[in-house]
Structure 1
């Protein structure tokens, strides 16, 4: 799965291979994104079902096996909406069916229509294939937290720092000398590897630390 995050972090896009694992991968990514955006559990569960149906339908389209499925998750803050898009290289336009009680399939778009605020189908910009989209009402959707830019040497334990496209709590801060001269700042984060940057490098930080976070500050080593 290839994942991209926009500069505004108001949308996430990815490309999925044509395999059975792609639908659960899409759901897992959606869950992580919506949790970060403050979406409530009811909307999250509905969105997971809608996205799963859209991805499953796209995987069933007859196209060359090397054609991937595109997924876009976006928050429309002014409208209080969550938008889900799934693109494929297939022709034609999907139609809603109301299958009978004895039919085991064909309910995908029926569910999407029932669960969404609105949905539709657009031609892809490149002229090949289509994008099926659905919008869900999400009144509690939150905007991207505002941060401020400071030199790395000014970062303190307990702040949140923007690294690798996400916010991380700074657990500890320590300094190290570079072998060639100058000072490096090493930030131990709540997740992932430590962040090691030049003391003067600008970093984006926030101060809304979780109260239970345990942090410490260390002096120069070596």
Structure 2
């Protein structure tokens, strides 16, 4: 999909990736006008799903995939985390003295529905969780959006002019932060932090005033 109802990105197998995932999710849900309680619950759920994916034994070059989607009709927020490992996620009931193993208990408590699916192509699985978010609404024609939410075919305002986004790819800064590189129809590519707010509109044919 290339609509603003879906955001996908990949994470390296690093401890910092949990924080990066939370930062992107926070930005996305802010753009979607999500209630604070839903934001907090979603951040907890995504943190647990990413943490579990990072613990799965996989070849060292395998990244973790994250997909965030919203259903306006159903008022649902869906979080998906994919890894290349085997096995199946199972809810545990750790003893009082155990310090870990409670992640999926938290997911089960906060999510409306959760589960896992085998990946259609390649190896591994996708673990998903859906949260009720009745306040999610469609965005306006011209809006402020995090760079990570921009998609090919949309227009962004660059130095006072509208430019069509030709392609989008994710990168990481040398210091570890998530970045987005936007190739435009004219001029040099734009490289910004994933959470950088950009002025966005749909398609080329709309009036610049929105």
Aligned partners of 1:32 and 1:202: how far apart in 2?
A: 25
Is structure 2 residue 36 aligned with structure 1 residue 37? no
CA separation of 1:103 and 1:77: change in aligned 2, threshold 3 A: same
How many residues get paired? 170
Which of 70, 73, 83 pairs up with 1:75? 70
Alpha-carbon distance between aligned partners in 1 of 2:106 and 2:52, rounded to the nearest angstrom: 12
Point out where structure 2 has 5 or more consecutive residues left out of the alignment. 162-185, 187-195
**1:51 is the counterpart of 2:24:** no
Counterpart in the other structure of 2:23 = 28
Counterpart in 2 of 1:134?
Answer: 129
Conservation of the 8 A alpha-carbon contact between 1:161 and 1:206: no
1:125-204 to 2 correspondence within 5 Å?
Answer: 125-146=120-141, 165=150, 202=204, 204=206
User: Which residue does the alignment assign to 1:60?
Assistant: 55
CA distance in 2, matches of 1:136, 1:88: 21
- Residue number in structure 2 paired with 1:114: 109
User: Larger deviation: 128-137 or 98-107?
Assistant: 98-107
Q: Which has the higher contact order (CA 8 A, sep 6+)?
A: 2
1:161-195: CA deviation from partner (whole Å, max 9, x where unpaired):
89962899979958xxxxxxxxx9xxxxxx7799x
Map of 1:179 onto structure 2? none
CA distance in 1, matches of 2:107, 2:123: 23
Aligned counterpart, 2:89: 94
Report the CA distance shift for 1:122/1:37 in structure 2 as closer, same or farther (over 3 A). Answer: same
Whether the 8 Å CA contact 1:161–1:203 is kept in 2: the answer is: no
> Which blocks of at least 5 consecutive residues in structure 1 are unaligned?
1-5, 148-159, 175-183, 185-190, 195-200, 209-222
Q: Distance in 2 between matches of 1:193 and 1:109?
A: 35
- In the alignment, the residues of structure 1 paired with residue 204 and residue 126 of structure 2 have an alpha-carbon distance, to the nearest angstrom, of 39
Deviation at residue 89 of structure 1 after TM alignment: 0.3
Larger radius of gyration: 1
Cα distance in 2 for partners of 1:60, 1:47 equals: 20
TM-score by length of 1: 0.67
**For 2:158 and 2:10, how far apart are their aligned partners in 1?**
33
Q: How far apart in 2 are the matches of 1:30 and 1:135?
A: 14
